[in-house]
Chain A
Amino acid sequence: MTSSASALASVLAAEGSGGDDGFQAPTVEEFYPEPIAEFDLLGIAFEITRITLILWIATAVMIALMVAAVRKPSIVPGKLQFIGESGYSLIRDGMARDVIGPKGLPFAPFLASLFFFILANNAMSIIPFAQISPMSKFAFPLVLAVIVWVLYNWVGIREQGAGRYFKDAAIPPGVPVGALILVTPIELLQVFVIRPFTLAVRLFANMFAGHMLLAVFALGTVYLLNVGNFSIIFAPFSFLMALAMTFFELLVIVLQAYVFTVLTATYLNGAVEPAH
């Protein structure tokens, strides 16, 4: 038997047997790599996987870049300082000042941290050798969303007083009394449950889906190249698709970091200023 014949046989066999040797589409297992280290601390099980390492590396690199940008601050900025300043100005002026309002500037450092943290971790989804974003693990967006949730509720209570804050959340001013039967549950659900949930899920799902798409086309390219018959013709198409998806992913990386931060600013705006 020649090798091509055997390859054809194996393809036929794969079709016949229902997919054991055929194309293995990436599954959710992608996001559960083998742990590098496992330990228990205070009854909590810790698993250090490559995604954990990616999280640390991305965060460390971002911290290093930021520190390097301001290490020798000068009035006429260098390249790195300029980039850092532009990013920080985008958050400070575009979100803290313009979205939250006059009381917004104290939140600029937190918003900037949020933005750069998400950006760095999102970026790992297209960085070679990492190629998976920690944000596609629900735990990390969830952590951020919960922090944001706690922050805007705390700010709302501090700025408006607990009574006023919860009353405005439950009974938005200007709503007819009859409509409150519908509006009150929806508003309460929205402010205290849906907001943090959507915040976390939006980011998580985008990065999760982005990784899946990239993995499908990348693995597809490899499979089509290796399967050994005429299907090699289709490999470039799959590769081009993977390339296009990478650029699309780049857009998603920046956009999701921006959206997460801008929504946080919007929620903080609602907390700082009484509803009107």
Chain B
Amino acid sequence: MNILAAESSNPLLPPVGEIVVGTITFAILCFVMIKYVVPRFEQVFVARREAIEGGIERAEAMQAEAKASLEQYRAQLAEARGEAAQIRDAARAEGQQILEELRAQAQEESARIVARGEEQLAAQRQQIVHELRGQIGTLAVDLAGRVVGESLADDARRSGIVDRFLAELDGMATSGDGRGATVAESNR
């Protein structure tokens, strides 16, 4: 056995069979690695890179979206604020206007009321004056008739006297107070 081994014992001179076995074994491993294992590793690398890049892209998109919606929100807010201010101004102006109108109306109304009151007053005064004129005339005539003791039946005379008297009375009234006294004095 020793002699047999010694024959092939040079470690640097390998038998051909061993070389073939080694080649085939390595070829099998190479085949599996190149055809199956490495492509899958590369696939995972690509998928991972894409996942990371995709994640970053998604995050960026979301950030942009958030920024856009913030801008939009701000713009809307500003718009709403402007609108509110506008509405407020309009309301204020309208209120002012309403107030003005109301004031004008009230003034008008009060003026009308005053005017009507004056009118009524004037009418009443007129009526009273009219009535008084008749009564005073009658009374004065009656009184004068009794005092004088003579009948003043003559209408023409009577009315002339009364008219004169009343005109005097009016003149007294317009010149000042103490008309009754003057009337009484002049009547006497």
Task: Check A268 for interface membership: any CB of B closer than 8 A.
Answer: no
Query: Which bucket holds chain A's interface residue count?
Result: 35 or more
A52-B18, A67-B37 known; 7 other A-B pairs, CB under 8 Å?
A44-B20, A47-B15, A88-B37, A109-B33, A137-B11, A138-B13, A142-B19
30 contacts between A and B (CB under 8 A): A29-B9, A44-B16, A44-B20, A45-B17, A55-B21, A59-B28, A63-B28, A63-B32, A69-B37, A70-B36, A73-B40, A77-B44, A108-B38, A109-B34, A110-B30, A110-B34, A112-B33, A112-B37, A113-B30, A137-B18, A138-B12, A138-B13, A139-B14, A139-B15, A139-B21, A140-B26, A143-B26, A147-B23, A201-B12, A204-B11
| Cβ distance B126 to chain A, nearest Cβ, rounded Å | 111
The one of B13, B20, B25 that contacts A55, using a Cβ cutoff of 8 Å = B25
Does B158 belong to the interface (CB within 8 Å)?
no
Which residue from A84, A88, A113 sits with its C-beta under 8 Å from B29? A113
Interface assignment of B5: CB less than 8 Å from any CB of chain A: yes
Q: How far is the CA of A138 from the CA of B18 in the complex (A)?
A: 9
**B contacts with A: majority SS:** helix
Alpha-carbon separation in the docked complex, A28 to B16 (Å):
19
What's the tally of chain B residues with a CB closer than 8 Å to chain A?
34
In A18-75, which residues have CB < 8 Å from any B CB? 28-29, 31-32, 44-47, 52, 55-56, 59, 62-63, 66-67, 69-70, 73-75
When C-beta atoms are compared, the residue in chain B nearest to A108 turns out to be B38
Q: Which of A55, A85, A113 has the most CB of B within 10 A?
A: A113
> Nearest 4 CB-CB pairs, A to B?
A139-B14, A139-B18, A70-B40, A46-B17
A interface residues, Cβ below 8 angstroms from B: 28-29, 31-32, 44-47, 52, 55-56, 59, 62-63, 66-67, 69-70, 73-75, 77, 81, 84-85, 88, 92, 108-110, 112-113, 116-117, 134, 137-140, 142-144, 147, 201, 204, 208
Whether A45 contacts B11 by the Cβ 8 Å rule is no
Chain B hits for A208, CB < 8 A: 11
Q: Is the CB of B26 within 8 A of A75?
A: no
The verdict on B47 contacting chain A, using a C-beta distance below 8 Å, is yes
> Contact: B16 with A140, CB < 8 Å?
no
Distance A42 CA – B134 CA, assembled complex (angstroms): 171
Complex CA–CA separation, A44 to B5 (angstroms) = 18
Collect the chain B residues with CB atoms within 8 Å of residue A117's CB.
26, 29-30
Q: How far is the CA of A88 from the CA of B39 in the complex (A)?
A: 11
A139 to B36, CA, bound (A): 27
Residues of chain A with a CB closer than 8 A to B17's CB? 44-47
A118 to chain B, nearest CB (A): 10
A147 and B37 contacting across the interface, CB-CB below 8 Å: no
Q: Which residues of B contact A66 (CB under 8 A)?
A: 32-33, 37
Q: Are B43 and A73 in contact (CB under 8 A)?
A: yes
Residues of chain B lying within 8 A (CB to CB) of residue A67: 32, 36-37
B51 adjacent to chain A (CB < 8 Å): yes
Which residue on B lies nearest to A63, using beta carbons? B32
